Amino acid sequence: MDWHVYLKDKVVFVPTTGALDEGVYREIEPVAVVPLTNTEGVRRALRATIERGNPPAPQYSAGNFPPPVLLKYADAKTWSAFARGALTWSIEQMEGLYQIVGYRKNAKGYWERDPNQKIEFPAGTETDAVVERMISIMEQATTGPQ
């Protein structure tokens, strides 16, 4: 299971992550958009998205892909415009174990997994604990180290 979380201008974007094939995902509707200052709203959005799992995503033929679903929610014309200034993480669950992985921009401007931003949770960690940690990470990202 895999879910994506974006933070841009202190607004949290949590799209549903639909499954195409094993380990291949696409962001689809519904998308939650919540100001980071609305902690309870962010908490509900993350929980609901995780509970939804990874439903099947629509298949598209080559060259027939719609624009990324987040663009209309962020009022951005292009993916690069949205990505500029955005931070992103994934919440992953495999064999009952959760982890949060942060992403960084590489030299070519693409997001890549950042091994320094990987948090592995012990077996038995509840979803709520992962959600609380994700909120804490985003809050810290907007204020810097305490």
Which of 76, 111, 123 is CA-nearest to residue 4? 111
H or E segment to which residue 26 belongs: strand 24-35
Q: Which domain holds residue 116?
A: 2-143
Q: Quick one: tokens of 78?
A: 């292009």
CATH number of the domain enclosing 49: 3.40.1590.10
pLDDT band per the 50, 70, 90 thresholds, residue 121: very high
pTM of the model: 0.92
Work out how many domains the chain is built from and give that number: 1
| pLDDT single digits (tens) 63-113 | 788 889 999 999 999 999 999 999 999 999 999 899 999 999 888 888 999
DSSP sequence for 27-80: EEEEEEEEETT-HHHHHHHHHHHHHH--PBPPP--TT-PPPPTHHHHHT-SSHH
Q: What is the mean pLDDT of the chain?
A: 92
Q: At what angle do helices 127-143 and 39-52 cross, to 10 degrees?
A: 130
pLDDT band per the 50, 70, 90 thresholds, residue 41: very high
